[in-house]
Chain A
Amino acid sequence: MQINQSIPKVDGMGLVLGRPAFTDDLADDNALIVKILRSPHAYAEIMDIDSTVALKMPEVKCILTHSDVSDLLFSRAGQGYPEPSPYDHRILDKYVRYVGDAVAIVAGTSEQAVQMALKKIKVTYRVIEPVLDFEQAKTAKTKVHHEDGTHSMFPIGHDPTVNLSASYGMEIGAVEETLEACDVVYEGRYYTQPQCHAMTEPHTATAYYDFQDRLTIISATQTPFHVRRIVGKTLDIPLSKIRVIKPRIGGGYGGKQAIHGEFYVAMVTMITRRPSKIVYSRREVFESTYTRHQMRLDVKIGAMKDGTIKAIDMDVLSNTGAYGEHSLTVLMVAGAKTLPLYNKVEAVAFRGDVVYTNKTPAGAFRGYGAVQGNYALESAIDELADQLGIDPVSIRRKNMIAEQETSKIFEIMGEGKEGTAMMIESCKLDECLSVCLEKLNWNEKYPRRQQTDRKVRGVGIALAMQGSGIPYIDMASAILKLNDDGFFNLMVGATDLGTGSDTVLAQMAAETLGVPAEKIIVYSSDTDLTPFDTGAYASSTTYVSGHSVIVAAERMREEILRAGRRHFDSEDVTYDGMYLYCGTSTISLKDLSTLLYYSEHQEQLVTTGSYVGKKSPPPYMVGGAEVEVDTLTGEVTVLNYVAVVDCGMTINPNLAKIQVEGALVQSIGMTLYEDMKYTKSGQMINGSFMKYKVPTRMEIKNLDVSFVDSYEPSGPFGAKSVGEIGSDTPPAAISNAIKNALGIRLNRLPMTAENVWREIKKDKKS
């Protein structure tokens, strides 16, 4: 068996040994260094740019401003075409819309020279009063996009005249009416903050002309094919003249699911005909790439005395910052991947606005809206249970979705448009919940235990769901090639950002072909050499790319059998992966493949497989937190976080576990420690690892991640997805645990020690 095996990642050892593998390792040593002059103002019109002094420096080879580049609008979002994000971005614009927005592109022969050149460029700005408060954006006088041609590819509620990047609403049943008939209605408002991905590799891209005079871009991107399309269309280069390669990436989590530096190096290389590269500084990664969407979520839930939830209403205000990439889709996921958890309601409504502000743009970040939605919804469920006098476990068991059920939301809410109806064929929430409670020791610990005078402990849980790819939109494909010596090349467009997808896909190919996984050599994410894949997002790689690999591998089996039949000159041939058999004769695949290359009926066996999902079966998870609150300092320590996951079959259990552990820690960071801070004029204060604090090893006391037995019939070998599900529960589970410990509901992230301390003081007073 090659699946459900924790084989080491195919690139694991090479990376530990420090082999050159990342974009900056592969860039030409003599590539021109590209840096961006960035706006110091949150909103301004560029009246004049004077680069004459900078251009006099002999080391400076190129300076580009908005008048030198295409003014075509595009969306930076790495999404399927036509994108559900507005086209509101230019390579360089006459207006700068946030502190850190690009003003000029400078390329030179050394880092020092280019840094000096940046200082010598004189820019005259007409400063405009910025919109900084997302709760005031719709009525603000300032328009972040003012008559600048921004538009959407199809209706998404885009209305820049009221600073709306996108807007959405849906209702099933009649929510207000149903709420009125309820015995109990809970209403609550929740806030989440912009969070930074903080991946260790800063965004990096390099460009050069190859020996066929084609523009080649090597970039740390999650979406190489989207990069090729967007660069080609915007710069008016035929796509056949561009190649995009994704090497190893040092982390992404959605933060590299967009265009970042690729335009700059493409333009510099096009003009100078020399290789160029851009390596974002850590500050630029914080200020000038993007963050998670900040949201305000209003939840109303109505239930009857017996605990039956009748109606849920969710109203969201989302802050997309200066540009709207991923604005509509993240908003919709906040509802689409949370509300179906309670599918037995009579009525459910979701609506939201995504507003522009003059702040660092927001974009894709693991969980993609579901984290924010889950925080509000799962906190609200606990509050509702409290009001009803029912415990939080019982209310969930009574109302949560189960196998062979569905929710109308699946067919109504999709990727910016309608979705796809879906019957849930695998859902082990019930079992996940039981296992989680047992591992947490819930019966003994719920709701709270006073440890000392000063320290109190509490436990809390939350359910979550996510998706597996985007049905009818995400396409993936694979090519398999048989080599002499009986091994295979597997070429996939799928993008491994360190997640191990190369490995998992190799395992699936190996299992189908009946060979050990080390016989499959994977090469991925090269727009010339690998077939198409939308890229690493929406938790699609295992499910969608996996299927395409299986198709290609099944076809390869057929091809091998066909070659075998020809070799034995008989129809009666079988194949077990290593050998072909015909009566008493055998030939190893190794020998047959060598014959096929050199001596007999020579032929290169190659197969392809493509796949588009017809559904997006959700992985499910129950997260349970045990926290200890120091009531004198407000410090919250997560003593134990239990995650019990149903992701269908775990193709590689170790890698699945690490995906969940990694996501948990990122979301614990969002829950307790991470926050973006701005000055009154919109300047980010803490754009460095010195001041933006992600959890360290010491904050993590114990993570307990396990998987329940589950099989998704529509999934490759029964698998669903596992990339994002780990992100969703920590904010709610921890907030619920704190509520149980202290009797105080924290409705704003992050729940820093000082914030908790203040709530405790407030609570004492009242």
Chain B
Amino acid sequence: MNSEKIVRTTDISEAYSTYISDEHAVLMAGGVFLKLQKRSVPVIVDLSLLALDYIDVKHDAIYIGAMATLRDIETNEHVPTAVRQSVEQVAGVGLRNLATVGGSVCGQYPFSDITTALLALDAQLKFHNEGIISLEAYLKNHVPKRDILLEVILPMGVDSCFKCFKQVYTDFSLINVAVASDGNWRIAIGARPGGPVLITAQSLKDHQLESLIDTIAFGSDSRASDEYRKSLATLFIKEAIEEVASWK
């Protein structure tokens, strides 16, 4: 991506006002996907000087700054299991040192692994202007459209597990699932055309699970067919549930 002007600032208000002042302005988080895009924009707002790369562990919640990298998340043992597992095989260590959780979430990439894990854990997103909204709502409504994500908030003490299928180790997932149990079961299914979706249930028997999965469209593309995705998803969800249940 090219732009005439790149604004670097340590002041979040300046970053925000620059961003919303031009409807074509773009935010730069890790910069990895920006680099891949061929278009030109009038201004890019660089978020790297806003000190948003923290991971704060509190008693009941973990606060992950939007500019925390996937590698930061991978190597922090306090981050919930599913989220750590979801980033382990995203490309290589080098790319994970650049790619950020904020970039992944706000990019709303259908192939994202971390978004699926965050969805299962009922992640809350704190935006500069909008305040806190759930990731679930954000993915459904795509609101706020133009805002700066400050941090992702996850609950502590919730068991979770992530599974995915990749042709080779560093590939995009053909399908991924994440399961979290906080009394209810939250099952997120992602890496499908359309992005991650969520199923919730109080308790699950196999047939209930299968009829819930039946309601989801998996989509075929050059990576995989929908029947294959569905078969894998069903298998992984059952395995993940068993795994999480066994920890209790």
Q: Residues on A close to B: CB < 8 A?
A: 632-633, 635, 673, 677, 685-686, 690-691, 693-699, 752-754, 757-758
The answer on a CB contact under 8 Å between A696 and B222 is no
Separation in Å of the A410 CB from the closest CB of chain B? 39
The answer on a CB contact under 8 Å between B165 and A694 is no
The answer for the CA separation of A729 and B231 in the assembled complex, in Å, is: 32
Query: Of B168, B169, B172, B228, which contacts A754 at CB under 8 A?
Result: B228
Q: Is B3 an interface residue (CB 8 A)?
A: no
The answer on a CB contact under 8 Å between B167 and A686 is no
| A633-B165, A677-B222, A686-B222 known; A757+B228 contact, CB < 8 A | yes
The answer for the CA separation of A753 and B235 in the assembled complex, in Å, is: 14
User: Please, which residue of chain A has its CB at the minimum distance from the CB of B168?
Assistant: A693
The answer on a CB contact under 8 Å between B222 and A673 is no
The answer on a CB contact under 8 Å between B232 and A698 is no
| A632-B235, A633-B165, A753-B165 known; A693+B222 contact, CB < 8 A | no
| A677-B222, A686-B222, A754-B224 known; A693+B235 contact, CB < 8 A | no
Interface positions of B from 135 to 189, Cβ below 8 Å from A:
165, 167-172, 174
Secondary structure of the B side of the interface? loop
The answer on a CB contact under 8 Å between A699 and B169 is yes
The answer on a CB contact under 8 Å between A633 and B222 is no
Interface positions of B from 200 to 248, Cβ below 8 Å from A:
222, 224-225, 228, 231-232, 235
Q: Residues on B close to A: CB < 8 A?
A: 165, 167-172, 174, 222, 224-225, 228, 231-232, 235
The answer on a CB contact under 8 Å between B224 and A696 is no
Query: Of A633, A696, A752, which contacts B235 at CB under 8 A?
Result: A633
Q: In the A-B complex, list the 9 residue pairs whose CB atoms are closest, starting with the nearest.
A: A698-B169, A696-B169, A693-B168, A754-B228, A677-B222, A696-B168, A693-B171, A685-B222, A693-B167
The answer on a CB contact under 8 Å between A752 and B167 is yes
The answer for the CA separation of A699 and B166 in the assembled complex, in Å, is: 11
Query: Of B167, B169, B224, B228, which contacts A697 at CB under 8 A?
Result: B169
Tell me which residues across on chain B come within 8 A of A677, comparing CB atoms. Answer: 222
The answer on a CB contact under 8 Å between B232 and A673 is no
The answer for the CA separation of A699 and B228 in the assembled complex, in Å, is: 21
The answer on a CB contact under 8 Å between B167 and A757 is no
The answer for the CA separation of A496 and B35 in the assembled complex, in Å, is: 35
21 sampled A-B residue pairs with Cβ under 8 A: A632-B231, A633-B165, A633-B232, A673-B167, A673-B168, A677-B222, A685-B222, A686-B222, A690-B172, A691-B222, A693-B171, A694-B168, A696-B168, A696-B170, A698-B169, A699-B168, A699-B169, A753-B165, A754-B228, A757-B231, A758-B228
Known: A686-B222, A693-B168, A696-B169. 13 other contacts (CB 8 A): A633-B231, A673-B167, A673-B168, A685-B222, A690-B172, A691-B222, A693-B167, A697-B169, A753-B165, A754-B174, A754-B225, A757-B231, A758-B228
The answer on a CB contact under 8 Å between A753 and B170 is no
Tell me which residues across on chain B come within 8 A of A696, comparing CB atoms. Answer: 168-170
The answer for the CA separation of A469 and B228 in the assembled complex, in Å, is: 46
Separation in Å of the B103 CB from the closest CB of chain A? 16
The answer for the CA separation of A632 and B172 in the assembled complex, in Å, is: 20
Separation in Å of the B138 CB from the closest CB of chain A? 26
Separation in Å of the A669 CB from the closest CB of chain B? 9
User: Please, which residue of chain A has its CB at the minimum distance from the CB of B221?
Assistant: A685
Tell me which residues across on chain B come within 8 A of A752, comparing CB atoms. Answer: 167
Separation in Å of the B240 CB from the closest CB of chain A? 14
User: Please, which residue of chain B has its CB at the minimum distance from the CB of A755?
Assistant: B228
Tell me which residues across on chain A come within 8 A of B222, comparing CB atoms. Answer: 677, 685-686, 691
Query: Of A632, A690, A753, A758, which contacts B167 at CB under 8 A?
Result: A753
Tell me which residues across on chain B come within 8 A of A686, comparing CB atoms. Answer: 222
Tell me which residues across on chain B come within 8 A of A695, comparing CB atoms. Answer: 168
Tell me which residues across on chain B come within 8 A of A635, comparing CB atoms. Answer: 165
The answer for the CA separation of A699 and B167 in the assembled complex, in Å, is: 9
The answer for the CA separation of A753 and B228 in the assembled complex, in Å, is: 9
The answer on a CB contact under 8 Å between B168 and A698 is yes
Tell me which residues across on chain A come within 8 A of B235, comparing CB atoms. Answer: 632-633
The answer for the CA separation of A753 and B168 in the assembled complex, in Å, is: 11
Tell me which residues across on chain B come within 8 A of A632, comparing CB atoms. Answer: 231, 235
Tell me which residues across on chain A come within 8 A of B225, comparing CB atoms. Answer: 754
The answer for the CA separation of A694 and B165 in the assembled complex, in Å, is: 16
Tell me which residues across on chain A come within 8 A of B168, comparing CB atoms. Answer: 673, 693-696, 698-699
Tell me which residues across on chain B come within 8 A of A694, comparing CB atoms. Answer: 168
User: Please, which residue of chain B has its CB at the minimum distance from the CB of A669?
Assistant: B168
Separation in Å of the A472 CB from the closest CB of chain B? 43
User: Please, which residue of chain B has its CB at the minimum distance from the CB of A635?
Assistant: B165
The answer for the CA separation of A673 and B222 in the assembled complex, in Å, is: 13
The answer for the CA separation of A693 and B170 in the assembled complex, in Å, is: 9
Separation in Å of the A678 CB from the closest CB of chain B? 10
Tell me which residues across on chain A come within 8 A of B165, comparing CB atoms. Answer: 633, 635, 753
The answer for the CA separation of A531 and B232 in the assembled complex, in Å, is: 59
Tell me which residues across on chain A come within 8 A of B174, comparing CB atoms. Answer: 754
The answer for the CA separation of A758 and B168 in the assembled complex, in Å, is: 19
